[in-house]
Structure 1
Amino acid sequence: MSAVLFDMDGVLVDSEDYWVQFEREEILPAAVPDDDVDLAELSGMNYRDIYDYLEAEYGTAITREEFVERFTEAAEEIYTERVALLDGTRDLLERLDERDVPTAVVSSSPHDWIGMVLERFDLEDEFDHVISADDIEAASKPAPDVFEYAAGEVGVPAEECVVVEDSENGIEAAARAGTYVVAYRIDAHGDIDRSPADAVVDAPDGIRETILKLTD
Structure 2
Amino acid sequence: MIKNIKACIFDLDGTLVDSMWMWPDIDREYLGRFGIEYDDNLKNEIDGISFHETAVYFKNKFGISDSVEKICKDWEDMAYDKYKYEVKEKPGCKKFLEHLRSKGIRMGIATSNNRSMVDAVLESLNMKDFFEVITTSDEVKRGKPAPDVYLTTAKLLNVEPKNCLVFEDVVAGIISGKSAGMKVCAIEDDFTKEVRQKKKELSDYYIVDYSELI
The counterpart of 1:83, out of the listed 59, 84, 87, is: 87
Amino acid corresponding to residue 50 of structure 2 in structure 1: N
- The structure-2 alpha-carbon separation of the partners of 1:130 and 1:66, relative to structure 1 and needing over 3 Å to count, comes to closer
C-alpha displacement of 1:22 = 1.8
Q: Partner amino acid for 1:205?
A: S
Equivalent residue, structure 2, for 1:4: 8
SS of the aligned residue for 1:10 comes to: coil
Count of residue correspondences: 205
- Verify the 8 A CA contact 1:27 1:67 in the aligned structure 2: no
Q: 1:108-127 alignment to 2 at 5 Å?
A: 108-127=112-131
Does the 8 Å contact 2:58/2:64 carry over to 1? no
TM-score (structure 2 length as normaliser): 0.86
- RMSD in angstroms over aligned alpha carbons? 2.1
Give distance in 1, aligned partners of 2:167 and 2:126. 21
Structure-2 residue corresponding to 1:94: 98
Percent pairwise identity: 25
The 3-state SS of whatever aligns with 1:162 is: strand
Give the one of 161, 166, 183 matched to 1:163.
166
2:150 paired with 1:144? no
Which residue does 1:14 correspond to in 2?
Answer: 18
Distance across 2 between alignment mates of 1:205 and 1:96: 13
The answer as to whether partners of 1:145 and 1:177 remain within 8 angstroms in 2 is yes
Mark the CA change 1:38 to 1:32 in structure 2 (over 3 Å): closer, same or farther.
Answer: farther
Give a deviation string over 1:47-73, Cα, whole Å, max 9, x none.
Answer: 2101223445x3423422442232111
- Consecutive unaligned residues of structure 1, counting only runs of 5 or more, are none
1 CA distance for matches of 2:205 and 2:156?
A: 24
1:191-212 CA distance string (max 9 Å, x none):
2332321122223424xx1xx6
Code of the aligned partner of 2:93: T
CA, structure 1 residues 32+92, in 2 after alignment: closer, same or farther (shift >3 Å)?
farther
* Mean CA deviation greater in 83-92 or 127-136: 127-136
Asked if the contact 1:32–1:61 (Cα under 8 Å) also holds between the matched residues in 2, the reply is no
1:29, distance to aligned residue in structure 2 (A): 4.6
Partner-residue secondary structure (3-state), 1:130: strand
Q: Distance in 2 between matches of 1:41 and 1:61?
A: 17
Deviations 1:19-77 (A, max 9, x none): 23322x22345579368443122122222101223445x34234224422321112212
For 2:209, the equivalent position in structure 1 comes to 203
2:132 is matched with 128
Distance 1:31 1:165 in 2: 33
SS in 1 for 2:156: helix
